[in-house]
Structure 1
Amino acid sequence: MKKRTKIIIGVVAVLLVGLFIVPRLFFGGNQEVPVDKAAEAEDYGIDYFEVPDIEQVYINGIVQPEQSEAFAKDEKMSSKPEIKVKNGDIVEPETELFTYEDKEITKEIETQTNTLSKLNTKKQNIYNKWNRAIDTYNKTKEEERTTTGAAIDEQHQAEIDSVDEEIFFSNETIADLSTKQYITTKAKFKGRVTIPEVKDANAPILRLTSEGLYVAGKVNEKDLMKIAVGQEANLSVVSSGTNVKGKISYIDDNPPEAQANQTDSEASGSGASMSNYNVKLSLDSLEGIKNGYHIQATINIGESKPIEIPKKAVHEEDGKKYVLVNDFGSVIRRDVQVSEEKEDKVTISSGLESADRIIVSSKKAVKEGDLIGETNQTAETKE
């Protein structure tokens, strides 16, 4: 046999041995090579109810107070502000929040006060001098008097009048300065006081935020013409799933100025393909809603009909009703509001999204967070 033929036969033999031995080394002699897990996936035998697919506009936003004001320290003032309220106070309009003392004006008031004191002393000295002059006049013999009593009175009265004029001016100056000595800032609206715990250079003296809240969101130019002020919206808190009703209260017809001034080349370079417009949504209820929460609002376009689903698809926990939804193979929970209950049906007023696949029943119990795949359904209920 030729050397080349021997080499070929040897290589083939090694490959055959490798195919037989290597799997056993890794997976054990009595185990089979793993097969595709999807092929072994358990059949949950799920019955679904599919929410009708309707056109919807989604608006992502953040809960914000209707009115808010942060009061920064006045760098022109050398004194520290005296805060007149406490952290957490609910204050009415015109409530004093904090006061500055103008040190320069305080010095002027002190100067004027010292001047006033000296003038009063001067006035008293004139009266003393006047009394002595009268006494001297009375003790002098009539033929030796060089002036009359009336002349003495006139002279000293003129001096008193001059000092009184200076005293009046000084008092007016002090009164005017006193109105400027303390600069008081008052609340412009009813709200809650927040005083920062950390007093760094950038921290405001305090913040005042109204108790009324709204959702500040954005809608792109593609959906702008589909929505209108007054349109109802279903709002869901991203972190907790809490659902509330609301309405569109404001739509800005102009994009933000920086975005409006962007050129086509700048827009394409930054990856922006559409303008976004500011939208405000009111909240029918503030239960479970806090300032800063992230919200997803869903607006149904066109006529919206009540959604009836099988009663057995609705679960309840801690007083909250919810359904389980197959979200691309993962079981998620949606909190829902039930407006009407019948024998085997319930009407859902909020909480569901278009084309949601609600789990009605299953052969094997499923729970939030389970991975069940998209091919395990055994039946699908539509309406």
Structure 2
Amino acid sequence: MKKRTMIIAGIVAVVVIIGIFVLPSLFGGKQAAGPEMKTATEDLGIEYFEVPDIEQVYINGVVQPEQAEAFAKDNKMTSTPEIKVKNGDVVEPDTELFTYEDKEVTKEIEVQNNTLSKLATKKQNIYKKWNRAIDTFNKTKEEERNTTGAAIDEQHQAEVDGVDEEIFFSNETIADLSTKQFISTKAKFKGRVSIPEVKDENAPVLRLTSDGLYVAGKVNEKDLMKIAVDQKANLSVVSSGTTVTGKISYIDDNPPEAQANQNQGESTGADSSMSNYNVKLALDSLDGIKNGYHMQATINLGDNKPIEVPKKAIHDQDGKKYVLVNDFGSVIRRDIQVGEEKGENTVVNSGLESADRIVVSSKKEVKEGDLIGEESKESGAAAKE
């Protein structure tokens, strides 16, 4: 009886093992995994707003001042320039910025001043001699005089006139040299002064930059015919995400000469020989924009109808508006500039890209940096409705 019980127990054990390991593999079943093996995507119940998919042209560029000038040192000058302005000063046109002293000219002026001093002494001596001659003439008896008082005056006046002529020439020479003694450099436009802190031999004396800024970018020949002057643009600072609006202010019809010559020598690949053309973009606001910032401009082609985004999709942090976007499964932040409110929606003037999937709401909080996977676009269509 005990043996029979053991046999039954063995059969039951085999059946259990077959049920756990063999049958699931035969019928496509999968072994249950622990929490760390979970692969099912959590249902976040996200509602999306789909930005219309429109054709766009992207222009990458760098912020530059409308006018700028760096004043290099004059190596012909042995003196150190005397700077007449301070770092950060905003100066008007024709303001004296710095001067050089031409030391060779200064030496010539000193020589002329010494000459003037000697001529003044010479003139005084002539007058003394003249006075002595008059005294001698007056003391001499009339019958013993061998000249006349008029002759004495004429002789000494001629000597004084000669010295006065030399004095006049020296003064004229000094006046002419004085215009060359200090070489002054003046501002050609209104701008802000920047004086380098490090005074090495390659550093300029100072720089002058206008307060007005623009974006200098490039567009390739494929997109050149798609854009036009005065076309509106949405611009974003690459480093900070700060967004502003603007427009195209200039398009160069010719590629840079050096690039054109280089392309003529290339013969392999269409992309390698594609020309780029200089483009300038004016900025509607300079808030958060500085000289040297890298920016990307987006030009929407075709219909420029404003994009209206649900209010509840727009967040605010320290006065900055932004939305969260599902970027191929990753949640990213897009800083935006908003316009007027229209019912439950708000007009977004800049910051969005074509076909952006904006998170409107979700069952669980979604934040920047989350990985949420790709979901169907049905919820985005529902948000638009």
TM bin (shorter chain): 0.7 to 0.9
- Confirm or deny: 8 A CA contact 2:263 2:273 kept in the other structure: no
> Given residue 240 of structure 1, which amino acid in structure 2 is its aligned partner?
S
**TM-fit CA distance, 1:346:** 2.0
Structure 1 unaligned segments of length 5 or more: list them.
Answer: 1-29
2:197 equivalent in structure 1: 197
- Confirm or deny: 8 A CA contact 1:47 1:377 kept in the other structure: no
2:12 equivalent in structure 1: none
2:175 equivalent in structure 1: 175
**Alignment of structure 1 residues 261-300 onto 2, 5 Å:** 261-266=261-266, 268=268, 272-300=272-300
After TM superposition, the score normalised by the length of structure 1 is: 0.88
Distance 1:34 1:361, change over 3 A: closer
Query: What is the alpha-carbon distance in structure 2 between the residues aligned to residue 371 and residue 330 of structure 1?
Result: 5
1:360 equivalent in structure 2: 360
**TM-fit CA distance, 1:340:** 2.3
Matched, 1:328 2:328: yes
Distance 1:192 1:309, change over 3 A: same
Distance 1:311 1:281, change over 3 A: same
1:65 equivalent in structure 2: 65
**TM-fit CA distance, 1:210:** 0.5
| Counterpart secondary structure, 2:266 | helix
1:18 equivalent in structure 2: none
Distance 1:145 1:264, change over 3 A: closer
1:85 equivalent in structure 2: 85
2:252 equivalent in structure 1: 252
**TM-fit CA distance, 1:267:** 6.3
1:217 equivalent in structure 2: 217
1:345 equivalent in structure 2: 345
- Confirm or deny: 8 A CA contact 1:89 1:192 kept in the other structure: yes
**TM-fit CA distance, 1:268:** 3.7
> Given residue 197 of structure 1, which amino acid in structure 2 is its aligned partner?
E
Distance 1:159 1:359, change over 3 A: same
**Alignment of structure 1 residues 1-383 onto 2, 5 Å:** 39-266=39-266, 268=268, 272-375=272-375, 379-381=379-381, 382=384
> Given residue 53 of structure 2, which amino acid in structure 1 is its aligned partner?
D
**TM-fit CA distance, 1:350:** 1.8
**TM-fit CA distance, 1:351:** 1.6
Query: What is the alpha-carbon distance in structure 2 between the residues aligned to residue 93 and residue 206 of structure 1?
Result: 16
Query: What is the alpha-carbon distance in structure 2 between the residues aligned to residue 301 and residue 31 of structure 1?
Result: 52
**TM-fit CA distance, 1:361:** 1.5
**TM-fit CA distance, 1:363:** 2.0
After TM superposition, the score normalised by the length of structure 2 is: 0.87
**TM-fit CA distance, 1:273:** 3.3
- Confirm or deny: 8 A CA contact 2:48 2:359 kept in the other structure: yes
- Confirm or deny: 8 A CA contact 1:68 1:208 kept in the other structure: yes
- Confirm or deny: 8 A CA contact 1:45 1:377 kept in the other structure: no
Query: What is the alpha-carbon distance in structure 1 between the residues aligned to residue 306 and residue 33 of structure 2?
Result: 53
Query: What is the alpha-carbon distance in structure 2 between the residues aligned to residue 277 and residue 285 of structure 1?
Result: 25
Query: What is the alpha-carbon distance in structure 1 between the residues aligned to residue 263 and residue 379 of structure 2?
Result: 52
- My pick for the range that moved more, 178-187 or 264-273, is 264-273
1:325-354 CA distance string (max 9 Å, x none)? 111221111122222223422222222111
- What percent identity do the matched residue pairs reach? 79
Aligned length: 354
| Counterpart secondary structure, 1:336 | strand
Structure 2 unaligned segments of length 5 or more: list them.
Answer: 1-30
Query: What is the alpha-carbon distance in structure 1 between the residues aligned to residue 261 and residue 165 of structure 2?
Result: 65
**TM-fit CA distance, 1:265:** 4.5
- My pick for the range that moved more, 147-156 or 303-312, is 303-312
RMSD: 2.2
> Given residue 176 of structure 1, which amino acid in structure 2 is its aligned partner?
D
